[in-house]
Amino acid sequence: MQLLSSQKMFNGWQQRYRHYSQTNQCDMTFSIYIPFRVTQGYKVPTVYCLAGLTCTDENFTIKAGAQQYAAQLGLVLVMPDTSPRGEDVANDAAYDLGQGAGFYVNATEAPWAKHFQMYDYIVQELPDLIEANFDVTQERSLMGHSMGGHGALVIALRNSERYKSVSAFAPIVNPMDIPWGQKALNAYLGDNQAAWAQYDACHCINHASHRLPILIDQGTADEFYPTQLQPEKLVTAAKVAGCPIQFNLRQDYDHSYYFIASFVETHLTFHAEHLGL
């Protein structure tokens, strides 16, 4: 790993790294917040924070205001990039496909399949890297925003034995039935509806091996609600599946990081409780 930057923050360290990803066959970057407790020799659990369309690892890092709460709670935060990047990596002129829009899937279609293996990268390669190089336990939780909320929910539900909890801000929960999801899933996976269902939280929740606690916040002034974002569908599916879910509809909040910053403490406290802190 190559250390790109390191700043002291709330007596811990905010750092950014580059590494070569065997999964995505290109260089990837991630940001990590290491709280003071780790510098004192304690191992602590990790919350992986997945960002949305057009974002990099730096959006949540800079805008969410999460580090002060991670410092208080004793949580490592890991902020991955949202897709592979580089001159040799396939891209699209639209903001909702290609670089910055990996949708946390393992692509099977050309030209995406060579590099766009974000599902495996988040599930296996990145945690292995973090746990081999930082003083963290193997206790993990996931959170995400928008496309990242989709990624967090799908990954947690499909690998429920690996995580203690999952939360999302304004998540895509039913990509098979919305324009963003249909465009991305068709491009990355072709027209195989069975493959699409593997990346749809409303379908995945019926097959989760563990009933993970879920927290979702949605703003009523979100420009993408309810056309692209339909969290109530997941609430209904969770109740049918017997999965504990808390859903908060936040009056007048939009889709921005102002919304995330307003409630990120609630989400991190939720994860800390389920991580045993």
Residue of 115, 150, 203, 255 marked catalytic: 255
Provide the pairing of β-strand 136-145 with 2-9: unpaired
Residue 210 falls in the annotated catalytic set: no
Residue 31 falls in the annotated catalytic set: no
Residue of 57, 165, 222, 274 marked catalytic: 222
Residue of 146, 160, 165, 167 marked catalytic: 146
C-alpha to C-alpha distance for 133 and 118, rounded to whole angstroms: 21
Cα separation of the two ends of the chain: 29
Residue 146 falls in the annotated catalytic set: yes
The residues, ordered by sequence, that sit 6+ positions from 96 with a Cβ below 8 Å of its Cβ are: 53, 180, 183, 184
CA dihedral of 108, 53, 60, 33, whole degrees rounded to 10: 10
- Hey, what are 39's tokens? 């510098």
The Cα angle at residue 66 between residues 118 and 184, in degrees rounded to 5: 25
- Hey, what are 23's tokens? 């999964």
Where in the sequence numbering do the catalytic residues fall?
A: 146, 222, 255
